[in-house]
Amino acid sequence: MSSSGHLALVPQLLGWSYADLPADLRKTFEVALHAGSAPALLIAARRGAAPAGLPMLAVTLLPAALAGLAFERPVEERLGGMRSVALAQVLAGAALVIADRSPERRSEPDALDYLAVGLAQAAALVPGVSRSGAAMTAGRLRGLSRPATAALSLRAALPVTVGAGALKGARMLANPPPRAIRAPIAVGFGAALVSALGSLPLLGLLGRRHFVSGVGCYRILLGAGALAVWHKR
């Protein structure tokens, strides 16, 4: 979980020179990956529980949208380094594990659940904090059942993902990437699309007892491993 976190950590762990690319080129590539995963997110959201009304979707969208417009660049500049991203992975993973221990008291979200998820998605502005993971953490802390939390996180993530992709896509069109990297960007888009569609069956596991905590533990291990590599360097 956390595509921004994996994009920052995996190349570093594997010794790739991705971090040496200009920031605008890395951002363009990230936009292509997010755009590739969007269709799978749409399919997953349509398979979930009954869709929420526009007022509730607005409650989940506005905090993330306002936070992104106000703080996106400063946060990425100050917290986009490998150490910060790795630490965010560890903390967010631990929060998810702790939240998943909450009892399942309700199966239908209320207005406060939507607000909690919206605020949690705003926290995902920090590189390394997963939008869906933050939403799952908020839902489980509120006592929602795992299936209800999974469905709510998918519905809430869709407008934020589409909106962010549209904004970043407009910026990319205003400043097109060089021709030399357009082919790799297209390959990245296609790979993200195929892998996201292929992972759809796994989304059903989000409602199971140990899967969510397992994702949290994976994030802790990933972040801890990255911190160990950073310390050695």
The pLDDT tens digits of the residues spanning 22-31 come to 777 777 787 7
List CB contacts of 44: < 8 A, sequence separation 6 or more: 154, 200, 203
List CB contacts of 162: < 8 A, sequence separation 6 or more: 38
pTM of the model: 0.79
Residue 184: predicted pLDDT: 84
* Helix, strand or coil, per DSSP, at residue 144: strand
Instruction: Report the C-alpha gap between 101 and 217 in whole angstroms.
Output: 13
The burial class, CB within 10 Å (0-12 / 13-18 / 19+), for 103 is exposed
The per-residue DSSP string of 146-192 comes to HHHHHHHHHHHHHHHHHHHHHHHHHHHHHSPPPGGGHHHHHHHHHHH
* Helix, strand or coil, per DSSP, at residue 106: strand
Residue 101: predicted pLDDT: 92
Mean pLDDT value across residues 173-181: 78
Residue 51: predicted pLDDT: 54
Q: pLDDT per residue over 42-97, tens digit each?
A: 776 666 544 556 777 788 888 888 888 888 778 877 877 788 888 999 999 999 99
Domain ranges of the chain: 3-232
CB 29 within 8 A of CB 188: yes
Mean pLDDT value across residues 95-120: 92
Instruction: Report the C-alpha gap between 8 and 22 in whole angstroms.
Output: 14
* Helix, strand or coil, per DSSP, at residue 127: coil
Residue 92: predicted pLDDT: 93
Percent of the chain with pLDDT over 70: 90
